[in-house]
Copies of this chain bind each other. A is one copy, B any other.
Amino acid sequence: MDIQELVKNLKTTNDSKIVMLVADGLGGLPIEPGGPTELEAAKTPHLDALARRGVQGSMIPIKPGITPGSGPGHLGLFGYDPVKYLIGRGALEATGVGFKLGPDDVAIRCNFCSLDTEGRITDRRAGRISTEESAPLAVKLRQVQIPGVKVFVEPVKEHRFVVVFRGEGLGGKVADTDPQRTGVPPLEPVPVDEPSERTAEIAREFIVQAREFLADQPKANGLTMRGFSVKPHLPTYEEVYGLKAAAIAVYPMYKGLAQLVGMAKVGQPGSLAEEIDVLEQVWNDFDFFFVHFKYTDSRGEDGNFAEKVKMIEEFDSIVPRVTALNPTVLIVTADHSTPAALKNHSWHPVPTLLVADTCRPDACEAYSETESLRGGLGQFEAVYLMPLAMAHAERIGKFGA
């Protein structure tokens, strides 16, 4: 029995409300030796006040040394062991563009590529085609028709797009068709198990028709398929925690990840301030609120330390609006670190705050990577965050008599 099953078995219910504020990629690194991290450089009076009231810890997103993508990072925050619940690349890509996968769907991550007259790949990314050029091509492929199957095609960025086949009993195990090199044709879609034989046939038919639609294209006249996957089966927030949960996010990826665990996506906010508007509007309708702020991660990936600092300060500024709602448990955390110094996600632990009347306060004076090391939550893995939130909301019964 893992920790999530334990919580599932022991959960109780009450009128408490839990808010989880996620500043994507919040954790950072000094940009110069001896300097502060982005969070330490930022002026965060409201978060620091929370740190004095609540309890802090240093949260490991997956396991020490492991850098998470957005999918596993969020699954961990939501309390689902990210190593146990793998989301296929196709399913993640579909989720990322806001496509709501159903139980009869197989999602595939596709790339446009360039083929020579003999069908051999000359460029695996179709000459780094722009989104402006590629998106209409993806839309054109919606004309593909395969008997007994519904076909969806969604543009992504640049050479990428997503294909979803909807049909009963389709298996999700088909090998990638990208040969990972040029000078050879794309591979045939090969089924890995019996239920996927029909999926592979459909994929072959899709490729044949797609190449006809693309035949006159100078760059994107072919395609490869990767990450065939069905919708991952995740127990819902309602099942696991007994929580009616709302996801408030600007970007489709995060709404999609939250929907995979049964959260309702609410509102259509376009900024952090609008996300808090939504939070206020739906406050009485849910028990749990996941609020996602993207730009701390974006500026980290840009390698822009100063701009990431500003984003953290923007994030800090909305805290009073959240505390005014008087949540039973308020969590401030991130799915992973994205240090500007690395321009990428990283494995470094994430400072994490939990504020509730049932907290045992610690000696932390500020919300920061350094202070989090002496926090009362110690160093802990992300899958324990939801159990801790549930405990502080007094929503977990006693284990054994």
Contact = CB atoms under 8 A, between A and B. Distances in A.
B71 A400 contact: yes
A87 interface: yes
Contacts of A68: 398-400
A323 interface: no
Given A378-B58, A378-B373, A378-B379, A67 B396 contact: yes
A206 interface: no
Interface in A75-107: 82-83, 86-87, 89, 92-93
A17 interface: no
A277 interface: no
A69 interface: yes
A63 B69 CA distance: 26
A6 B373 contact: no
Contacts of A89: 401
A67 B399 contact: yes
A321 interface: no
A62 B399 contact: yes
Interface in A47-72: 53, 58, 62-72
Interface stretch (A192-200, A304-312, A383-391): A383-391
A238 to B, nearest CB: 19
Contacts of A387: 63-66
Contacts of A375: 373
Q: How many copies does the complex hold?
A: 2
A363 to B, nearest CB: 6
A64 to B, nearest CB: 4
Contacts of A82: 399-400
B400 A86 contact: yes
A298 interface: no
A370 B363 contact: yes
B347 A391 contact: yes
A369 interface: yes
Contacts of A70: 400-401
Interface stretch (A115-123, A130-138, A354-362): A354-362
B378 A370 contact: no
A69 B64 CA distance: 25
B87 A400 contact: yes
A171 interface: no
A224 interface: no
